[in-house]
Amino acid sequence: MSVIWAGIIVLGVFIYVVMDGFDLGVGILFPFYQDRDDRDVMMNTIAPVWDGNETWLVLGGAGLMAAFPVVYSTVLSALYLPIMLMLIGLILRGVAFEFRFKASEHRRHIWDKSFAGGSLLATLMQGVTLGAIMMGLEIRNGVFVGGAFDWFSPFSIFTGCALVVGYVFLGSTWLVMKTEGRLQEQMRKTARVSTALIAGVIAAISLWTPMLHAYIARRWFDQQTFYWFLPVPVLVLACLMLLWRTLGSGRRNGSPFALALCITFLGYSGLVISLMPIIVPPSLTIWAAAAPASSQGFALVGALFIIPIIIGYTAWSYYVFRGKVRHGEHYH
Partner 1 sequence: MRTADSVSNHDLSHLAVSLALLAFIYLLVFGTGTAMGLRMLATAPRKGESAPEGSPCELNQPVRPLSGSASVPAHH
Binding site for partner 1 (CB under 8 A): 73, 77, 80-81, 84, 88, 91-92, 95, 98-99, 101-104, 143-145, 148, 330, 332
Q: Give dist(CA 12, CA 16) in Å, integer.
A: 6
What is the rounded end-to-end Cα distance, in angstroms, of the chain? 44
Residue 44: CB minimum distance to partner 1, A: 14
Q: Between 218 and 326, whose beta carbon lies closer to partner 1? A: 326
Q: Between 128 and 240, whose beta carbon lies closer to partner 1? A: 128
Residue 248: CB minimum distance to partner 1, A: 38
Q: Give dist(CA 13, CA 1) in Å, integer.
A: 18
Q: Between 143 and 214, whose beta carbon lies closer to partner 1? A: 143
Q: Give dist(CA 122, CA 95) in Å, integer.
A: 14
Residue 332: CB minimum distance to partner 1, A: 5
Q: Between 35 and 98, whose beta carbon lies closer to partner 1? A: 98
Contact 137, 144 (CB under 8 A): yes
Strand partners, 144: 139
Q: Give dist(CA 154, CA 132) in Å, integer.
A: 10
List, in order, residues 6 or more apart from 144 with CB less than 8 Å away.
73, 74, 77, 78, 137, 138
Other residues' Cβ atoms within 10 Å of the Cβ of residue 168: 28
Q: Between 105 and 251, whose beta carbon lies closer to partner 1? A: 105
Distances in whole angstroms, Cα of residue 110 to Cα of each of 32, 100, 280 = 16, 8, 39
List, in order, residues 6 or more apart from 33 with CB less than 8 Å away.
39, 42, 183, 186
Contact 243, 260 (CB under 8 A): yes
Residue 62: CB minimum distance to partner 1, A: 18
Residue 146: CB minimum distance to partner 1, A: 10
Residue 322: CB minimum distance to partner 1, A: 18
Residue 47: CB minimum distance to partner 1, A: 12
Q: Give dist(CA 209, CA 133) in Å, integer.
A: 12
Q: Between 25 and 82, whose beta carbon lies closer to partner 1? A: 82
Q: Between 12 and 27, whose beta carbon lies closer to partner 1? A: 27
